[in-house]
Structure formats: structure tokens, C-alpha cells
Amino acid sequence: MVLHFRLLQSHRKYVIHLYRASHRNILRQVNSKSLQRAIINLLHNEASKNTNNLSSWHVFIALTDLEKLNNHLMNNEMEQVIQIVNDYGEKSNCKDPNIDKSVELIKRLTNAKELNDINRTNQQSPEIVRDMFILDRYIKKLQNLDKLPTIIPKQTKRELFMPYALHEHAKMKLNIIHNRLLKGPPPVYLTKTVMGKSDVWFIRSIFNKKKNQSKSLTAILMTERKRYQKWIDFINSSKYLVQMSMYEGIWDHYLKSGEITKINLDKLHSDLLSKVHRFTSNKTGTLEDLVKKVLANQEANNDTLIQWLLPISEILYRLEDKELKAQTKFKLFKTKLQDPNNKIINIYKKRSQLLYELNVTRYKNVVKDLPTVDIFSQTQNLRSIMKRHKLWSN
């Protein structure tokens, strides 16, 4: 029998990848925060609306339009992007006020002269948007201190206050760098993250933070997280398995002897988990002896129930044993990392020291050029000097 496309793993994987790629492209290619929110709101709405859509034709059209949207985003074709989102906004019968606001916002942006100017002159660069944000923040700060009037012409803002705003921002960054250099070289230290019952230790430095984190470390963390989640899922489902096996065992024993065995299943399950955990650590006796003790506590120790409960106990033991081995492995790894002769830590420390010395040299070169700073000069303002000496990062 042919499966519906919703049940195909390849379809689900493709949709998820395309949806995530759309999010990334919107945040990367659209520099207007308002426009980002508007497009993402409509994307969320269409995704939730089509989640249970059984029409293959409608889903095919929606996915095709989403591919077109991504292509336009990658080519920076903002007018086509807004046209697609506008069309979907007009087709939508959704009463969600947030979606209606997004559609109205996109229409206003489409008709605005500023957006057309941005598309024609390619002024929607990240640097321009960032500078305008710095300017607005600088002006609001002065207005809150009653040092500037509420209404200021745009031309005055850009020509008069923009150099002061950028200079103030550059001074703040230079001060941050100065304070950071006073603290010495970037630290290299051991840190950990908890993955289930295990503490995964690793080296952290300025070179492997956030996006620069080792791919192998990321893979280890993801593998451990999935493994522990499987362990939790089975522990949660084991209660049901124990109950079903005991029902079968009680019925089987009744057919053989005519006796009905009374068991507190909740207590039996918790007792079994705790004893398997201790057995995994100590490994004294056998699993069959363990099951006999668990059933003896319920005054239900007979061969039929033992045979029904033993397979589940073996599975629980294997999972507990894997968990114990993982804990042991990460403890040994921590011991290796803490070794004073660890070459990896020494390499990171040397790199941190070299980077620190390089930044100190760059900072001193900037300080030498400070007397020549001209706020209104394009080549001799504080930002350009810091960029020239490679002390500026966006």
C-alpha cells in the first residue's frame, strides 16, 4: 500500500530543512528588523496552517513558493520577497491580529519611498543599518538628558550628529578593549556540561567559544544527549512493560495453580529499578537472584513470575551498564585534562598569550594615533584608525 506523503521520512526531513533554511536566510539577508518580524510571522502562520494539510497539491505549491522566497532572499531581491509575502497575506483568512499587522507593515514598507531608495542605491547594507541604529541610540540618550530637542531634521541628524555618534561608539569600544587588556591574556579553563548522569568536561578558551566550538565536541554532546534521552524514554516505558509482564505472569500462574497473586505494581517497579542500579555498580550475585528478591518483597516469589520479569531486568541492566561505562569514560577524560603536562591546554595557553600580546601592540599603536583623530574625517576618525590597526571588529 502506498504511504501518504506526510508519513514519508524524506518529505518530513526536506520540509524541516527548508523551514530552518528560510529562518536563517531571513535573518541573514533582511537587515530591517521590522521586515524580518513581518516575514517570520507569516512564515509561522503558513507552516502551522499546513501542518495537517492532506492535499498534496496545496503542499506542493506552498513548498515551491517557499523555495522561490529563499532564492529571492539569497539574490537580495527584496521587492520579489515582499510580493510573495504580500500575496500570502492577502490570501490568508486568518484573524490573528499579529498577522494582520505584519501584512499592513509589509504594505507600508512596499509603498514607502525609503524602501525603494534602499533597493535602488543598495543602501540596505548591514553597516548602514548598524550606523543608523547607533545614531538613533545616541540621539535618544541626549534627548533623555534634555540636551537635544524632540524633533530634529533627518539631514541634521546624518550630517551633524552621525560623526559624534560614531565617535562616541568607537570610544566605548576602545574603553572595553582597554579594560579587557587590563585583565591579562584570555583565560583557558576546564568547564563541564551535564549530560544525564555524566559530567562532560572539556577545554574552553577564546578560540573555541560559541560558533568556533569543535565539531567533534558538538557531536559528542549531541550523541550523549540522544543516548540519555533513550535511557529516560525506556525507564518511563519500563513501568508499563513491568505491569504487562506481571499481568501475564499472574494469569499464567493462575492457569497452572488456580491461585491469584496480589502485587503492588508501583512498588515492584521502583524496587526493581533501585536494585538493578545497585547490582550494576556492585555486580554481586545474578540477575535471577535479584528478581527473586524483588518478588519476595511482594510475597510473590514463584518461578512463573520470575520468568516473566527476568527479560525486562536484563534490558534494564544493559542500559544501566552503558550509563555506568559512560560515566567512567568521562571521569577518565577529566583526569587526562587535569594533567599538568596536558599538551592541548598548553597549546591553547600559548595561543592566548600570543593573541594578547598582539592586541596590546595594536592598542598601543591606536593610542599613538589618538592626537590625530578628526571626528569629521572619513580616514582619520577613531573608527578608521582602529580598523587600520586591526583593533576593530563588528
Is 297 contained in some domain?
yes
Amino acid 2: pLDDT:
59
**225 and 271: one domain?**
yes
The CA radius of gyration of the chain, in Å to the nearest whole number, is 32
Amino acid 369: pLDDT:
92
Amino acid 3: pLDDT:
62
**288 and 377: one domain?**
no
Number of domains in the chain: 3
Is 285 contained in some domain?
yes
Is 87 contained in some domain?
yes
Is 189 contained in some domain?
no
pTM: 0.55
Amino acid 102: pLDDT:
53
**201 and 238: one domain?**
yes
**117 and 129: one domain?**
no
**85 and 129: one domain?**
no
**37 and 116: one domain?**
yes
**166 and 204: one domain?**
no
Mean pLDDT by 10 residues, the chain (394 residues): 67 83 84 80 82 76 85 82 77 52 57 50 69 90 87 85 92 94 91 83 86 82 86 86 87 84 85 86 82 82 84 88 87 85 87 94 94 90 92 79
Q: Nearest-5° angle of CA 169, CA 171, CA 176?
A: 95
Is 31 contained in some domain?
yes
**199 and 332: one domain?**
yes
| Phi, psi angles (nearest 5°) of residue 278 | -65, -40
Is 342 contained in some domain?
no
Is 188 contained in some domain?
no
**247 and 153: one domain?**
no
**109 and 136: one domain?**
no
Phi-psi sector, 105: left (phi>0), alpha (psi -120 to 50), beta? alpha
**208 and 242: one domain?**
yes
**139 and 225: one domain?**
no
Domain that holds residue 372: 125-183+347-394
